[in-house]
Structure 1
């Protein structure tokens, strides 16, 4: 299949941001979105100039200190020069280090880090490749659970509503919204930049059209959040610029109005939920003497009491859908808004109706609001992990800083393992994690950090061994997602850059050095694996009577249609129809408004029903502004931040921070000024954009600008490029989930009038 040349027509490919065709002229990529996509993602533009950028890792590199002094803790990570070595020598050294760590400390001393976003391909999926390798070569590794995006919700929701599949992917669809929904109450909105992305890919971006058609039919949208453009203009939304972190207070007030005015669906609560009386006692103030009414909430969230009561009454009379964005649960008590919104929907009694009820995170990714496929997609097997130890993904710094320390998680008392080697492939913790200056110190504690990387990200700069790997356009693969009705042939467009190799080739070579090559490869090269992985899908299609071509026919055609399950509302529709015959996967089989199980954990920060718990980090004289560190509109996370499309939205090369004009004027800040945004954890430089779409008292700056600390600036260096995670708290959500709290923080802003430091984020490190 390796027929790559510089002179050929466009070839089919796919990415997390959409399906497309691409061509290569030797220096630039031509990208043409899939013809069936009604609203292609502009982020596809990041591919055009990225394949030969100076930021690419060209050859295997080893940090000088590790090479000269051997494995061990080092404060030089991120500062040292690198030495280029031949592939064979680097692989020999790495295999030796893996053997040393396993022999001296066991497989439980290895953390297998990866986050799965490096490619939409089902074979060249770095997360599965590294986990398969570590399982085969070492017998296992310390793993992570959950995600930075949904760390709290993925733990609380199974307690409250059971199956996540039923809530996320077999519930309310965009077709139902177009046809049935009358009122959409969106906590945190449904920003199109987020739904443009889906892990594994998306061939049709339907969200803009669905929102426009729903609005044209008469549906009303209410956006609760500090950013007006977290719903697109076609929604014509009623904007409620709530004080950040106070959504639970507003939700409780809506619930209070429903209960006190007897507008709640008491029959549904009786037949489909458990624990409502205990929640109502709290709601009405019988427990603490404070009714959670609209006047109480107004003083907390900044929304007038009459508006709150009016909305509650409207919800009770219209077919409504309640959504909660991921961002709300990426906060100190992130479980609470997710749970409280589910309770509000239960009180309204519309859960399970078409286009109504509760659809957590609809619009947060391209997966949600779509029908799942009726056949499995190709999936690379990972084997068995023999190590039981794990951490919630956002607790990596705590693990490395406090080996052996106890921590709570979802009712269990666990201990952090003692990690000596971190092996990262296909991810960048210097994007996802919080308090990056602390993370930098954290990585100084281990013996060895290994990274497979396409480019010189901050993770690569802090690694001891950096192995250059191919980008998605430089290899053949299969693109597929569990909610997309097309499987794509991802045909290589360009040859690999310099000495870059596929992750599979790297792991196969390492496996050979460790005596487990046959177990890892099963005697297959990459093409043979592609053929094998496709066979599972082909067999399922054939068994269901659908067209099931062989691999060669699929590869030549470029795509294959996959059937979807019916739009029948899934488990929640069946539960609504007959809760006894179709119970939820909760202890009671019902929606758990009060959870005996959670109450039994004894967590003061997450009791047995939703409660109002104000953040312990509040604006004050030193840091009066709230900072929102949300997802970018010009790239996927931090990927290809160096590409021209991502650069096109920066100002003088720096990330843009949006402010309300009144906040800017009070500080003498103008449009396109450079500001210093700072708090006790760190500081950054960013350019400014003034907008009334940002609520007063708020600064919005997207994540993903590559961490670029000013050299020799002490333990809390200034990031001159504008990465907001130098400001965010490395704090877990309550002990139930231990998720990320990285969505918001507090800071002060001032105009930066000094000499502007150059941006070095994309320059390769010094090479010896």
Structure 2
């Protein structure tokens, strides 16, 4: 009997591991140094040979027969299997046609970048590099669904988001120094389980426990009690969703009214306090933003707000704001106001104190940076000037030539004829999916690289089967993790799947730009090339710096962390003149004349309470929180074991407060219908006191599975909440995603329960297999 294959190192966004393919199944072991491995690793065994995998290139029958053009039948027609040479010839011809007839400004390069932890097989880099070299460019997107508002507002008021989220307060400092943390939106461990580029140690649970045992107080401000782990010992304030700005204003008002704010800090380190204070105290509009004003807005008592404010001064306090707060109407406001509250306390820049945006949102946050990062793949130069904020894709597709505002300027949407998507599933993360379908129906051609039959692949015209990470070689590294991981191939590719680089190399050859795209390097040679910058930097510091072949043979390489210097905010506190911020005043911007000059009513010149439009009504009386799932990263590997075990009767689970369920005759485990004027979906009800009354919580991630015959608007039978969410920007400043919250009604589902078919291959693929 042959010896079993050895366990080989590999990495994923939810953790480093070793694995082997043995006797037809995957065996996986989390990294031995990880104190709290992510359960999402349990999804990976199903990834390699699941029936939902795409086995060979496919082309939509209608596109073949009728040619390129707008087509509402996308997503409902059969696919025709093709040989690789045949489909690459066909695709190269279509790329030539679109470039010659409409120019590269008619091509949208879509990717969300979460397909692999590897530095080379990073689908976003691969597709953008190819489009830049082969076509001369493409219409791009900026910012992210997770942080669309904060990425725009933070550089204007403090520093770039990366500086505030990754080079700021660390978990080590919190465990040692912090006395009280006001966690607006929480720091759920399900979020910090993931990190782009991989992660070897999940430290969040242990750090919170250590801080709690030392005496630090955690205050959770969220409609969901489990947005902090039990180890934090948190006090829960179940605030109404999207009212955090009002609560922050009231806390600040209480401090100012009692003379407890740090006026010396405000005078030295901030700009515009006096203008803001006039608004805060009601001198400009006659309404003081005090605790009595905030109580009916937030659902908290005035006494609770006042008492919380008085617990903050004179202690090492930390204000944290989660991604979730700014994924809602006027999402810029809580990000801005959180900084102002921290400034009023005078704690910004102190170890374990001040202000942190998105702490716990990813495994990267709250950590020190490494001294020698690994280089990323060069994406080339994009000659196309047109772009969109990432969450405005449907607006662009439905409204070519339409105007939109963004960060102080006006732009026009491009007229998109071809969409090239690799490394993402917009039918997971975009809002109002039924509207998105109408947008994709408008283009001439939709091309998708994917490893499985997601809804995005089903709506494509040309589908190219891509490998998953364990079917290829790569190198894993992250700027906040101390390991460089040689990512060995664990199993052979499924069917005829190829990696993105091989697909693009084949297309580049047909388009006459092979040398420019590949630079004459094989995959292994590219890995060595990317590693070399880190190796040279390690060598210059007198640290172990093995060559690439040694790294590949001997396994992960540990690299040192840089010192915890507190980043730009610490340096600014120590010397605000020498280390001025890159804001319009060089200080923390409490009032911004520049933003005020944009004249955006949905984003004034200082933090302001703005009443949301999307609020509960008689027809939709419950607030839906559509947060990130705990059992998968976005929608990746939804068919995996960890994800499937959390579903009930094959549906995603919606959590409800027992009082709301009783009022609707809903019992635990019932299948329910969530609906509003945009769409409807089915989910399995779970009753829990961890969800505040008036709230329902249905995470994203279930593969969109529409029953088009069910009603005027398709019913997603699987439980994707983005059939319900509103596709509207946070404000004219950032145009960020508002998909965290919406209003719905919930009722017990009656009648024949439709089957979930999300993972079934299209009919043509099944016929081809026969």
Instruction: Note if 1:268 corresponds to 2:265.
Output: yes
Task: Say whether residues 1:632 and 2:635 are aligned partners.
Answer: no
Q: Which SS does the other structure have where 2:441 is aligned?
A: helix
Shift of 1:714: 5.3
SS in 1 for 2:707: coil
**Unmatched 5+ stretches in structure 1:** none
State the Cα deviation string for residues 720-765 of structure 1 (Å, max 9, x = none): 0000000000011101100000001000000012100000000011
Q: Does 1:105 align with 2:102?
A: yes
- Residues 340 and 399 from structure 1, CA distance in 2 versus in 1: closer, same or farther, beyond 3 angstroms? same
Does structure 1 conserve the Cα–Cα contact (< 8 Å) formed by 2:151 and 2:160? no
Counterpart of 2:39 in structure 1 is 42
Match of 2:399 in 1: 402
Aligned partners of 1:530, 1:271: CA distance in 2, in Å?
48
Which of residues 352, 366, 377 in structure 2 aligns to 1:369?
366
Matches of 1:506 and 1:133, distance apart in 2:
10
> In structure 1, which of residues 84, 87, 92 is the aligned counterpart of residue 84 of structure 2?
87
* Helix, strand or coil at the partner of 1:445: coil
How big is the shift at 1:164? 2.7
Q: Report the 3-state secondary structure (helix = DSSP H, G, I; strand = E; otherwise coil) of the residue aligned with 2:146.
A: coil
Counterpart check, 1:186 vs 2:183: yes
In structure 2, the residue matched to 1:211 is 208
**Corresponding residue of 2:733:** 736
How do 1:456-605 residues align onto structure 2 when only pairs under 5 Å count? 456-605=453-602
CA distance in 2, matches of 1:202, 1:133: 28
8 Å Cα contact 1:116/1:125 also seen in 2: yes
* C-alpha distance after superposition, 1:419-443 (max 9, x if no partner): 0000000111011100001101110
- Which residue, out of 425, 429, 434, partners 1:432? 429
1:54 paired with 2:51, answer yes
Q: Which residue of 2 aligns with 1:384?
A: 381
Give the distance between the partners of 2:22 and 2:717, measured in 1 at CA. 34
Q: TM-score scaled by structure 1? A: 0.99
Are 1:16 and 2:44 counterparts? no
The alpha carbon displacement at 1:406 in A equals 0.6
Shift of 1:27: 3.1
Residue 229 of structure 2 is matched in structure 1 by: 232
Q: Structure 1 residue 711: deviation in Å?
A: 3.2
Q: Tell me how far apart the structure 1 counterparts of residues 231 and 340 of structure 2 sit (CA, whole Å).
A: 29
Show CA shifts across 1:169-210 (max 9, x none). Answer: 211000000000000100000000000100111100000000
Change (3 A) 1:6 1:139: farther
Deviation at 1:659, TM superposition (A): 0.2
Correspondence 1:246 to 2:253: no
Distance in 1, Cα, partners of 2:641 & 2:758: 15
1:231-262 residue CA offsets vs partner (Å, 9 max, x unmatched): 00011111000111111110000010111111
The corresponding residue for 1:118 is 115
Verify: 1:694 aligned to 2:706, yes or no. Answer: no
Question: What TM-score do the two structures reach when normalised by structure 2?
Answer: 0.98
1:196 aligns with 2:193: yes
Give the count of matched residue pairs.
764
Mapped pair 1:613 → 2:644 = no
Give the aligned CA root-mean-square deviation in angstroms.
Answer: 1.0
Q: CA deviation at 1:448?
A: 0.2
Q: Specify the alignment match of 1:314 in structure 2.
A: 311
Cα deviation, residue 317, structure 1 = 2.5
State the secondary structure of the residue aligned to 2:557.
strand
Between the aligned partners of 1:46 and 1:145, the Cα distance in structure 2 is: 30
SS at match of 1:367: coil
- Runs of 4+ deviating beyond 3 Å: none
- Asked if 2 retains the 8 angstrom alpha-carbon contact of 1:378 and 1:480, the reply is no
Aligned runs of 1:150-189 on 2, under 5 Å?
150-189=147-186
8 Å CA contact 1:122, 1:480 repeated in 2: yes
In structure 2, runs of 5+ residues without a counterpart are none
Shift, 1:26, TM fit = 4.7
Q: String of CA shifts for 1:552-578, please: whole Å, max 9, x gaps.
A: 111112111122110121211111011
Report the 3-state secondary structure (helix = DSSP H, G, I; strand = E; otherwise coil) of the residue aligned with 1:83.
Answer: strand
User: Aligned in 2, Cα 1:420/1:714: closer, same or farther, shift over 3 Å?
Assistant: farther
What does 1:130-141 align with in structure 2 at a 5 Å threshold? Answer: 130-141=127-138
Matched residues in 2 for 1:250 and 1:505: separation? 53
Residue pair 1:163, 1:584 contacting (<8 A) in 2 also? no
Alignment equivalent of 1:284, drawn from 281, 296, 299: 281
Deviation by residue 1:320-341 (Cα, 9 ceiling, x = unmatched):
1010110000001000000001
Cα pair 2:428 2:634 within 8 Å, conserved: yes
> How far has the Cα of 1:392 moved from its partner?
0.2
Deviations 1:106-160 (A, max 9, x none): 0000000001000000011000000000000000000000000000001000000
Question: 1:68-119: per-residue Cα shift (whole Å, max 9, x none)?
Answer: 1110000110000000011101000000000000000000000000010000
Cα pair 2:46 2:639 within 8 Å, conserved: no
Distance, in Å, in 2 between the alignment partners of 1:167 and 1:245 is: 22
Q: What SS does the aligned partner of 2:116 have?
A: coil
| Equivalent in 659, 662, 673 of residue 662 of structure 1 | 659
Query: Which stretch shows the higher mean deviation, 196-205 or 563-572?
Result: 563-572
Answer yes or no: is the 8 Å Cα contact 1:7–1:24 preserved in 2.
Answer: no
CA contact (8 A) 1:145 1:392 kept: yes
Offset at 1:378?
2.8
Q: For 1:525-565, what per-residue CA distance to the aligned partner results, in whole angstroms no more than 9, with x for missing partners?
A: 11111111111111111112211110011111211112211
Quote how far apart the aligned CAs of 1:712 are: 2.6
Asked if structure 1 preserves the Cα contact closer than 8 Å seen for 2:321 and 2:335, the reply is: yes
Q: C-alpha offsets along residues 478-532 of structure 1, whole Å, 9 cap, x if unaligned?
A: 0111111111011010000000001000000000000000000011111111111
Residues 415, 559 of structure 1: CA spacing in aligned structure 2 closer, same or farther, 3 A cutoff? Answer: same
- 1:6 shift after superposition: 10
